[in-house]
Structure 1
Amino acid sequence: MDTRSADAFDPPGTSWLPVSPRLASVRRGLAAALIGVPAVAAAVLLAVFAALPWALVPLLGGAALLAWAWAVVGRQVAAWGYAERDDDLLLRNGVLFRKLVVVPYGRMQFVDVTAGPLDRAAGVARVQLHTASATTDASIPGLPPAEAARLRDRLAARGEARAAGL
């Protein structure tokens, strides 16, 4: 019997846990600031130094770009997931370019939990995994702080147990 999965990004028997939808709020707020502020500034400058109808160009362009970013951020956040297995942690993300990272517990050196000001305001944190190889470092953004702390403690304990067995 062939037990291989037809989808390389969804191993059989894996229960994926999603990240918090509040991560989308943080990223959408950043997109609004990075797109909306320059669009409004350009519109004001065009209204002052050129004809008023030209001020609509950056506003409409900014609104279209912001609507596109809003949809993309929602899909990106929905694509994030992680799964704890017996010997490793799986992380997946990506909409256009999908990515699956497998981090063996025995390779973990330490686990960080970080949260910037916007993350704290939204009530989310990031779990950063540091491994023996810099190319396999991975992170899980947008976790509720309690889940981030639980995952940090669990991964650290599993990493110590696996490293002790080497």
Structure 2
Amino acid sequence: METGSGEEGRAAGDHPVWTALPPGLLRMRRLLLVVWLAPAAVAAGLVLGVTAGPAWSAPALLPLAPMVWGWVLLGRNWRSWRYAERADDLLISRGVLWREETVVPYGRMQLVEVTSGPVERRFGLATVQLHTAAAATDATIPGLDPAEAERLRDRLTELGEARSAGL
């Protein structure tokens, strides 16, 4: 997967230079997975160990299987996300089994938001949300560094205003 700045992505023409999401998003999602599933395994083990005896606490390991599976799937999902800034539009690509590529023309953008919830802020992340004239084409880029999210917001807003001025 290629990475690069937005300037390179716009200069590439037919072959956009893709920018991958930072690893902080993967760390945050994996931590949330462990925070939710590890207590379930411990609670199941304690309940079964106390009520049915230590030999019956083995089924408490069952929540660990989804945790391992989720760990792998989160990594694959994170690697699938990327975006590229081109001369006339923004490309967002994601998906492992079902690949989805969204093309958002700058002239169609109505609003560009940068949001960051408490967990995202703790990990130094922000999300860019693009709103267009058609509600079905709204696009999101999660897990960006806040400075990159603000740069992208400002750049997309500037390009959107320039492209929509002729409409």
TM-score (norm 1): 0.89
How far does residue 12 in structure 1 lie from its aligned partner after superposition? Answer: 4.4
In structure 2, the gaps of 5 or more residues are 1-12
Deviation string 1:28-76 (CA, Å, 9 cap, x unpaired) is: 1111122222221111111121121221212x22222211111111111
Question: Among the aligned pairs, what percent are the same residue?
Answer: 52
Verify: 1:134 aligned to 2:153, yes or no.
no
| Secondary structure in 1 matching 2:63 | helix
Q: Distance in 1 between matches of 2:62 and 2:92?
A: 35
Q: Distance in 1 between matches of 2:14 and 2:155?
A: 23
Deviation string 1:116-150 (CA, Å, 9 cap, x unpaired) is: 11111111110000111100000000100110000
One-letter identity of the residue aligned with 2:52: A
Verify: 1:48 aligned to 2:67, yes or no.
no
Q: Distance in 1 between matches of 2:166 and 2:36?
A: 48
CA-based RMSD: 1.3
In structure 1, the gaps of 5 or more residues are 1-10
Partner residue in 2 for 1:57: 59
One-letter identity of the residue aligned with 2:144: L
Please identify, of 30-39 and 113-122, the stretch whose mean Cα deviation from structure 2 is larger.
30-39
Partner residue in 2 for 1:8: none
- After TM superposition, the structure 1 = structure 2 runs for residues 93-132 of structure 1, keeping only pairs within 5 Å, are 93-132=94-133
| Secondary structure in 1 matching 2:142 | strand
Please identify, of 25-34 and 148-157, the stretch whose mean Cα deviation from structure 2 is larger.
25-34
Q: Distance in 1 between matches of 2:39 and 2:104?
A: 40
How far does residue 89 in structure 1 lie from its aligned partner after superposition? Answer: 0.4
Partner residue in 1 for 2:4: none
4+ residue runs of structure 1 moved beyond 4 angstroms?
none
